[in-house]
């Protein structure tokens, strides 16, 4: 039996990822530069080491932009787009079902603790989670498995009795490397990306019967 769930945050619980891409894509277009999803996808679900969309126009293309003004404009546009977003379908249903079944719940996010906790509070779901692990807690974020390993230890769970809920290739890679079962619910952006690690994929979490997942029958069928 499954004894716990560990959720990614960005793009999984609420779709922050699509809003980020649109904000950057539109800002780049204003300067005559196309930001492709393929290029942007390298920083989805991980840090900005491989591709930093805040700095690329200045460091790589040498455009004379004010870095802080550019950053602020991106954040303003992201905030505007996020006003249209809500908790993703099926998430609340699974949180309630897990609590009723006395299963353990955690968060493993490559974002900062301040960012994650702010949005969990806004959604009113902070108290569901016994453990929250973020980029503040690890040396390497996803696709490195450390976030999931720390969350498992925090929750006192074994990998084989835990399900990761993810939306991105980097996240599913991290979950697989840590030995967890993984359910992927791609969002508007990540559904176009290639997932190479073992996982079960569905368009919305509410399409998966909770008891079927907890019994592990879902993963035995895979």
Q: Which residues are catalytic?
A: 8, 10
What's the CA gap between 180 and 5, in Å, rounded? Answer: 10
What's the CA gap between 54 and 57, in Å, rounded? Answer: 8
What's the CA gap between 170 and 68, in Å, rounded? Answer: 28
Q: Are the CB atoms for 171 and 45 separated by under 8 Å?
A: yes
């Amino acid at each position: 039996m499954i004894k716990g769930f560990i959720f990614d945050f960005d793009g999984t619980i609420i779709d922050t990822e699509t809003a980020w891409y649109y904000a950057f894509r539109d800002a780049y277009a204003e300067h005559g530069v196309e930001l492709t999803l393929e290029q942007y996808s390298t920083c989805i679900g991980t840090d900005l080491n491989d591709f930093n969309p805040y700095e690329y126009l200045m460091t790589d293309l040498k455009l004379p932009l004010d870095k802080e003004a550019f950053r602020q404009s991106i954040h303003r546009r992201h905030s505007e787009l996020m006003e249209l977003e809500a908790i993703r379908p099926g998430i609340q249903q699974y949180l309630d079902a897990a609590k009723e079944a006395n299963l353990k719940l955690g968060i493993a996010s490559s974002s900062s603790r301040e960012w994650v906790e702010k949005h969990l509070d806004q959604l009113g779901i902070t108290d569901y989670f016994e453990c929250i692990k973020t980029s503040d807690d690890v040396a390497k974020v996803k696709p490195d498995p450390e976030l999931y390993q720390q969350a498992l230890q925090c929750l006192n769970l074994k990998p084989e009795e835990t399900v990761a809920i993810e939306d991105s290739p980097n996240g599913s890679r991290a979950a697989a490397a840590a030995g967890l079962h993984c359910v992927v619910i791609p969002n508007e952006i990540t559904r176009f990306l290639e997932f190479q690690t073992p996982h079960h994929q569905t368009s919305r979490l509410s399409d998966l019967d909770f008891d079927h997942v907890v019994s592990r029958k879902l993963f035995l069928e895979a």
